[in-house]
């Protein structure tokens, strides 16, 4: 008999087919959560190029994408802008309020919105979205509420994994 986790993982296919928007965190999702601090005090992050490819593909296919992050980095803003994500909110302390505003601005249906998060600050906003997802190395509390857990870690292709599945199920990957 399949476990609850296995049943949740099987159910994601039907949910991904209905997805209309994807909102995601940055640190721990698009990055591995590490920071490199330079002698000058600058914070550097790395992002996976395959995640970027999938984001660009989703944007080009009309998927509504947004980023909501507590972090603040001009480099991250530049990268997300280059990928075509127009709705980026950084330095966010209260993600629930920001998601509610995005819902109004973008006419999002939360029931068909994917939220990709990895840690405690994402929990409440993930609970509002119908399709909470996370990377393999997310906090245990986040894994417990996620309807899909990517086998890939944050910053190592988990966004590509999720977006590719969504777009393929919707016939928009090619």
Output Rg (C-alpha) for the chain, integer angstroms.
15
CATH of the domain at 13: 3.40.50.1000
Residue with tokens 């909470």: 132
Please check whether residue 173 lies inside any domain of the structure: no
Please check whether residue 148 lies inside any domain of the structure: yes
Q: Mean pLDDT lowest for which of 12-16, 71-75, 80-84, 88-92? A: 71-75
Please check whether residue 174 lies inside any domain of the structure: no
Tell me how far apart the alpha carbons of residues 5 and 3 are, in angstroms, rounded to a whole number. 5
The pTM score is 0.91
Please check whether residue 102 lies inside any domain of the structure: yes
Which pLDDT score, from 0 to 100, does residue 46 have?
86
pLDDT tier at 90, thresholds 50, 70, 90: confident
Q: Looking at the predicted structure, is the pLDDT value of residue 47 above 70?
A: yes
Please check whether residue 147 lies inside any domain of the structure: yes
Residues 64-85, mean pLDDT to the nearest whole number: 88
Range of 124's domain?
4-167
- Give the CA angle between residues 105, 109, 14 to the nearest 5°: 145
Q: Looking at the predicted structure, is the pLDDT value of residue 9 above 90?
A: no
Q: Which of 14, 1, 2 is nearest to 147 (CA)?
A: 14
């Amino acid at each position: 008999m399949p476990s609850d986790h296995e049943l949740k993982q099987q159910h994601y296919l039907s949910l991904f087919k209905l997805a209309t928007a994807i909102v995601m965190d940055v640190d721990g999702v698009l990055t591995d959560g590490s920071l490199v601090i330079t002698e000058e005090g600058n914070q550097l992050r790395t992002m996976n190029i395959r995640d970027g490819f999938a984001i660009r593909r989703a944007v080009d296919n009309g998927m509504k994408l947004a980023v909501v992050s507590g972090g603040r980095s001009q480099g991250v803003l530049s990268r997300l802008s280059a990928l075509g994500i127009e709705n980026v909110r950084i330095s966010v302390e209260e993600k629930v309020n920001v998601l509610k505003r995005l819902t109004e601005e973008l006419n999002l249906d939360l029931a068909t919105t994917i939220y990709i998060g990895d840690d405690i600050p994402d929990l409440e906003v993930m609970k509002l979205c119908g399709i909470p997802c996370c990377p393999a190395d997310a906090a245990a509390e986040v894994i417990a509420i996620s309807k899909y857990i990517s086998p890939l870690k944050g910053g190592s292709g988990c966004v590509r994994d999720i977006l590719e599945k969504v777009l393929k199920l919707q016939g928009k990957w090619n």
